[in-house]
Amino acid sequence: MQTRRNFLINTGALAVGSVVLPSFLSPTKKVKNTGVQLYTFRKEMLADAKGTLQKIAALGIKQIESAGSEKGNYYGLSPKEMKTICSDLGMTLRSGHVHIDDKWKQTMDEAAESGQEYIICSTMPTEGQTVANYKKVAESFNKAGEDCKKMKLKFGYHNHAYEFESENGEVLYDVLLKNTMLHWYTWKWTWAG
């Protein structure tokens, strides 16, 4: 005998199944223009940058974000070499995952030389989970955005969970948004000055 509860459970399962099952049965759609952050392959890139890029291209990946390493922002390659290798492999070096530090000017120069469109700050330039520090970071981000704009680059920030902590009821992430020209796009901020 079917109870009302069992009927509702079975009907709900049928409804979910009718929505989900077709996606498993239909042919897989190819995703075009996929991208990856090279930090994912950091050990391999340090060991053999060109060979690793060839393997990444063979996977069908088309967009690349470099990341700082002990060999620099391009794993021992010059910005020009990185651009050429990526281009020859049918990939675009779209962005760089970097720090705002004492090498900031060099980082921007290299990004421009490599043909990158974006510079993405990977971590907070100063530490401290306080409103005062986040206002200081906002000033730093605004300056970085202006610096990038002058070089025809776009500045962004790769956020983390800690920016959503609060001090005295104020969410630190909101402090950044209120005090910068940054705008939220998908998973990164982009400076819109």
What is the structure's pLDDT at 185?
42
Q: What is the pLDDT of residue 189?
A: 46
**Interval 7-11 mean pLDDT:** 51
pLDDT of residue 82: 97
- Please report the pLDDT score of residue 32 as a whole number: 78
Range of the domain at 141: 30-191
Structure tokens at 76: 């021992």
∠ CA 137-140-144, rounded to 5°: 135
Mean pLDDT on 12-26:
51
Between 4 and 45, name the one with better pLDDT: 45
Domain count within the chain: 1
Considering the domain boundaries, does residue 6 fall inside one? no
CATH number where 105 lies: 3.20.20.150
HSE toward the beta carbon, residue 170, CA cutoff 13 A = 15
What beta strand segments (E) does 47-187 contain?
63-67, 92-98, 118-121, 154-157, 166-167, 170-171, 182-185
Q: What is the pLDDT of residues 100-120, one digit of tens each?
A: 999 999 999 999 999 999 999
pLDDT at 9: 54
- Three-state DSSP at 113 gives helix
Does residue 25 sit within a domain? no
